Chains A and B, each alone.
Chain A
Amino acid sequence: MKKIALAIAALALTSGLAAAQTVRLGTEGAYPPYNFVNDKGEVDGFERELGDELCKRAGLTCEWVTNEWDSIIPNLTSGNYDAIIAGMSITPERDQVIDFTQDYYPPTASAYVGLSADANIKGTVAAQVSTIQAAYVPTTGATLAEYATPEETIAAVKSGEADVVLADYDYLAPIVAESGGELVFVGERVPLGGGVGMGFRESDKELKQKFDDGITAMKADGSLNALLAKWFPENPPKY
């Protein structure tokens, strides 16, 4: 009896240790195809598959958490989750507060979308709050209209609240394709940001290294390219 109790205690202890390796991944859950909540109510998308694969390779148990975009960095630094994997572009400003892995999505162009090809990109431009696009718009002399979610930026253009929306090209491309001609790209693409990477607390170098190694490996064996081709079929980027 004592032995059994001991064994159970030992098991509980070791499983506790193993489970201590649980890594909580924070995402927005509203930025398809990077991350979104699927019909079952679970986090899904390119980053879900990528994150799960990286966790598997690093031998970690991962748990997905959704958090509002606005407070996604403060909640990381205060320890509510351990990593951000939310289509977040690597920028010098963000890099001062958190640490980024190498990019798992190459630096891409942002693009303007409006109701007609001659829409005014110097007029009112919709962008999601706290994004590289929202930081860029005022430098062009246009008026910035900020929205909490990417969905709302599109709605603003459709309703005429804004002349155009500025967002990642890859987010916009399928929306334009499925809009049946209502939405069109306007003007040239704008190169912004340093690619998309995972964000970690600056004090968490070890964990960051694990994921960084995983991304290196996935780039080397082509599995990252396969994932990119699956989730961005229109114009898959390649490493």
Chain B
Amino acid sequence: MNNFLEIKNLSIAFPGNHLVNTLSNFNLKLDKNGSLGIVGESGSGKTLSMLALTRLLPKQAIVSSGSIDFLNHNLSEIDNLNFYKNFSGNKISMIFQEPMTALNPVYTIGRQLMHTYMYHNKVGKKEAHHKSLEMLSAVKLSDNLERMKQYPHQLSGGQRQRVMIAMALINNPSLLIADEPTTALDVTVQKEIINLIQELKEKFGMALIFISHDLGVVSQVSKNIIVMKRGEIIETGKTYNVLNKPKKLYTKTLISCLKNLNTKRKKNKFKKNDKIIEVTNLSKFYKLPSKLFSTKKIINAVNDINFSVYEGETLSIIGESGSGKSTVAKMLNGLLAPDRGEILICNKDINKLDTKERAEIIQPVFQDPYSTLNPNHTIGYIIARPLILNKPFLPDEIRNLVLKTLDLVGLDKGFYYRFPNQLSGGQRQRVAIARAIILEPKILICDEPTSSLDVTIQEQILQLLKDLKQKLGITIILISHDISVVKYLSERVLVMLDGKIVESGDTISTLQNPKKEYTKKLMSAVYEI
């Protein structure tokens, strides 16, 4: 009982047809001032274990066994009222993944901070106000007096996450749990937040549990690591040992997936074929609706960009959210009309092409595997639909082609009559790719095709895209914020910032010797193991 935190044999089950442990035999030991990282894919139970610690488990969850000792208390003997008063928020704090939804949108930042403080400490408003200001400067938010009066929607994602951290630390907890605190943020912001968390950990002398799906980030933050899969602990130990001498197969594949993505490939010798896409002076503005007494605001989503794509190459567009890369993708696809400039595809203006003609030249693959497929259609119909709409084929021919394409993207013919909700994220993305390639287009536009998938699945999908490119000779335009994905797949790269192209050139040389300030910042934010 001398440990700061010890969890023994924790098992959690959800009632269903038969009771299956979603989390089984979870063990954990943490010293005061210690740090621990929990890594795993989605559904591996990493968050669940921490929710059990903070008593935030969903109502139907059943804790079937296990004990939690924290600061010499057996937590299972403490009743809820006592727990919420003396432990959660006070000694144990948690930072959540979505800074957008974790703050209450109708109260000011200041009020939320002060209330958190006043709930656990018997202090007046003045003192709470003072403490809140102190915390805001601890998380390095400028103009903190102004910030106190602002509402969450007036802050950026990174700023909100800082406020969340301030709120979590205001009661001086001895344990901070960070549940994927940077997943929803841009890479450069991610680095700042992680540095901040590490700094504050030293300053306040807390213990830290850091949950993430990203092995690179976790290895940076924590001394010890737990690797989880399907509710079980696969491997645990010192971070350095686990990463360099993994004992279990799963850890090895996880690490090799990451390393594969990060391998320094030789410079691809790429013959410059004919130009397949030529973009000149492309611009797109968004007008914000004018309010009473204020002039119309115009946002330059894409501002006067020029580039061309050569047949058979893979071109990547990198940039943070809001840099205009997705807008470019939509315009290239003809789904959005540009305000100025033109896009020539095979020497034809994309916006003057007939939709059917366009469909046979250029096809998109979208980011979110959960909204990319119509939930009411079977997989077979989803893949067949481009053919039904565009080609005068007989039903039998279509069926054969669909089965062939299913095979090409690595899916069994048993998926033909399935509905999208029966498929995993990776399988859905495969179906989306199948739908895009069945018309044999010349160009495939992939808008963050892997950013919502787990690392191992991510590698499989990228491998698939690579294979398809070799087999079919498709030109791929890849939009991504993830440097390793870009490195893995593409020959040339464009770096975008605020609607403009900052830097462009060969992938390897551009990313290894960045010339512009922004590209350097982007590259320094990448964590490698």
A and B pair up: no
